[in-house]
A and B are shown apart, each in its own frame.
Chain A
Amino acid sequence: MTLQQLIIQLLSGISVGMVIFLIAVGLSLIFGTLRILNLAHGSLYMLGAFLCFWLSSTLSHLSGAFWWTLILAPLAVALFGGLLEAFLLRRIYTREMLDQFLFTFALILIIGDLCKLAWGVEYHMVSTPWPLNGPITIMGMGFPLYNVFLIGCGPLVFVGLWTFIHYTGLGRIIRAVTYNRDMANALGVNVPLVYTAVFMLGCWLAGLGGALVAPMSAVMLGMDMVVLIDCFIIVVIGGLGSMPGAFLGSLILGLVNAFGILVAPRLAIAFGFILMIIVLVIRPWGLMGKPE
């Protein structure tokens, strides 16, 4: 195991982590503000990936089709999420956790089967878009340029979200609703609208994650479950409701997974769960969360 291979493995882990960050941060935001754990988040990610595949094959006659897809697919998922929130999710905000869990689980089943209905059970592939296909050499070894792009996307989105939440008016309203919903309501904030907006933002992030991951791995049914478990691990480690926590958690999980595969390939899957258990036992609100 040379230094170069180690660095490549590290970068590989981080790039995967950054994609899952996009989905995990959406999950965290939704939990932080709406106080529900949206299990269907993985399915929205899968929907984003399928839409990316569909749009890029439909629009393949346009140059730069992928970039158009990158704009349109997350918007479509956000719109879908908005309708979901307004018509369905609104009814369960006051219900207890089991009901919310099963409700969002039912959405997993429904969205999954809708994808199956629309696009069948085969794997689909999306080709890497033009300026980013091909490898670059890092320290003498090849590394996909697209993965470097993904590593860049993570912090970019994080900085964008942070600026939005902490330096804009709408962000301040969202923070107010997160902190104390009833007070914000009493001060005239349209709380249901804010809830819808935050949910749509979360869905947009999940759709973006799905669209970004499509060129890197196969688009297929079942990708929602895999990413969902990773998201849970990340938001537990980082802290439910905390954006920096989600970023930190994704980095940690990406690195742990990448090195786990090198050190003990058979047990690598378990490392994430072990980390999750350790955090939950020692510091349940996560590394950067606040105790309730």
Chain B
Amino acid sequence: MNARIGFVIAALILSGPAWAAPKGQLQIPEFAALADKADEVVTVTLDANLLGMAARFLSNEDPEQAKAKKLVSSLTGIYVRNYSFDSDYAYPKSDIEGVRRQLNAPGWSRIVGVVSKKENSNVEVFILADGNKAQGLAIIASEPREFTIVNIVGNIDLEQLHDLEGNFGVPNLGIEKSDNPAPGKPSTPIKPSAPAKPAAQEKTK
């Protein structure tokens, strides 16, 4: 009997993180210490409840808002941290590395990785794919005076994300169905459950 109770407790403890954070949600630090140092701060934390509330106040008349409303209907969270500084590297890279490490987990795939040595900038786009649906999207962009972390959680319909092209300036990053890549576009088919590629595998031009 005691063993059974112990087993149940152990199962609950082990499954805790699974229900505590939805699939695709990253543990993003608050970066509270950086808020004073930063010139400009954009912090967006929208969980499922707030997204639902926000969607109710998006207009169907405005095409941009209507598309956003459609996109967020299946999302469970949007988290953005964007800090701009007036001096180079005023932010600790270790915090960003902590987030990047979470993207090494199984299921996450890096679909774009750009490292510019000239501009000292680094932009990476990760996706947590499940068939044609993305369960999560992460963007880590770091520049000497700015860094941005974006985490979008939920059933991201890639075609809907495509529909945002020209609305928010979202470009076609080759987020295509693996069986129907668009011609003439940089296509990086999503491989479900593919592990994140290490930086060493990046193609150098």
A and B, one complex?
A: no
**What residues of chain A have their CB less than 8 Å away from a CB belonging to chain B?**
none
What is B's interface to A at a CB cutoff of 8 Å? none
